[in-house]
Amino acid sequence: MRHQVSVLHRTGRRSQGSDVETPCTTIRQLADDAKQAADVDELMGLEGAASTAYFSCLSGLVPPEVAFDGRSRRPPKDLANAALSYAYAILLAECTGALLAAGLEPSLGVLHASTDKRPSLSLDLMEEFRPLLVDRTVLSLLRSKRLRPEHATTSPDGEGVWLNSKGKKTLVDGYEATLQRQVKGAMPGFSGTWRRHIHHGAQLLGRAITEPGYEWTGASWR
């Protein structure tokens, strides 16, 4: 949740007239409540409420010609959601590879319920990286108009919107540029590209699972 606040603050500073403080206050309060959550179900409910506030605010930070009315998926309803869904799938695969390299089973989740049908631990790992790597990238591409409405295609039944080949290339290029960026200070005693941070995060998550008393703090970004 703290990364959602960071994304809103950084983007909001460059968006004249955008109110980011109200949703940021809401998300901070939900994050405080999460520390006292009685169980995983309550924690996930608070996370869902924070995401609703977050994406509602993000909708007002993209160019007016980009229709973006909060998060939609299965299918995505607009260009922004199509880009988010596509990039989340790439990040999920990246996290799965990092977990396998760390000797962990991606289907055995900690917060997300374990199931054979999805890599639940990968979803746990990617949660903190989604705002940092995907949301920031998609926002940047939309706001700079490198990703535009003509990069999306509506499905034949009119229900969903998907990236076309040019849109996918634009998004993948932007995502790769983000992951190749050198970062220092996001994790204690560690520096390197964001891609290396994902792999390091998988190793730290493994320690938190296997070593009693080990405190996992994740990445920080300001």
Tens digits of per-residue pLDDT, 126-176? 998 999 999 999 999 999 999 999 999 998 888 899 999 999 999 999 999
| Residue 69, pLDDT score | 82
CA neighbor of 101 nearest in space, from 125, 118, 129: 125
Q: Which pLDDT band, with edges at 50, 70 and 90, does 11 fall under? A: confident
Domain boundary among 61, 76, 111: 61
| Residue 180, pLDDT score | 96
The total number of structural domains that make up the chain: 2
| Residue 17, pLDDT score | 57
Choice between 78 and 41, residue whose per-residue pLDDT is larger: 78
Residue 211 Cα distances to 148, 188, 215, angstroms = 47, 18, 9
Percent of the chain whose predicted confidence (pLDDT) is above 90: 53
Q: Are residues 44 and 79 in the same domain?
A: no
Mean per-residue pLDDT, 97-113: 87
Give, as one character, the DSSP assignment of residue 111: S
| Residue 15, pLDDT score | 65
Q: Contact, 162 vs 155, CB < 8 A? A: yes
| Residue 221, pLDDT score | 58
pLDDT of 184 above 90: no
Q: Are residues 154 and 201 in the same domain?
A: yes
| Residue 14, pLDDT score | 67
Q: Are residues 36 and 78 in the same domain?
A: no
| Residue 211, pLDDT score | 87
| Residue 190, pLDDT score | 86
Q: Are residues 79 and 144 in the same domain?
A: yes
Q: Could you tell me the residue range of the domain that residue 51 belongs to?
A: 1-61
**What CATH number is given to the structural domain containing 198?**
1.20.120.920
Quick: pLDDT tens for 20-50.
888 899 999 998 998 888 888 888 899 889 9
Torsional class of 206: left (φ above 0), alpha (ψ -120 to 50), beta (otherwise)? alpha
Q: Are residues 124 and 209 in the same domain?
A: yes
Q: Which pLDDT band, with edges at 50, 70 and 90, does 10 fall under? A: confident
Q: Are residues 184 and 106 in the same domain?
A: yes
CA neighbor of 141 nearest in space, from 185, 172, 110: 172
Q: Are residues 6 and 72 in the same domain?
A: no
Q: Are residues 13 and 117 in the same domain?
A: no
| Residue 114, pLDDT score | 66
At position 211, the amino acid (one-letter code) is: E
Q: Are residues 57 and 72 in the same domain?
A: no
CA neighbor of 98 nearest in space, from 204, 214, 212, 180: 204
Q: Are residues 30 and 81 in the same domain?
A: no
Burial 40-57 (b: 16+ CB within 10 A, else e): eeebeebbebbbbbbbeb
pLDDT of 109 above 80: no
Q: Are residues 35 and 143 in the same domain?
A: no
Q: Are residues 155 and 215 in the same domain?
A: yes
Domain boundary among 40, 61, 82: 61
Q: Which residues contact 185 (CB under 8 A, 6 or more apart)?
A: 191, 220
How many CA atoms, within 13 angstroms, populate the side-chain half-sphere of residue 14? 12
| Residue 157, pLDDT score | 87
Choice between 110 and 9, residue whose per-residue pLDDT is larger: 9
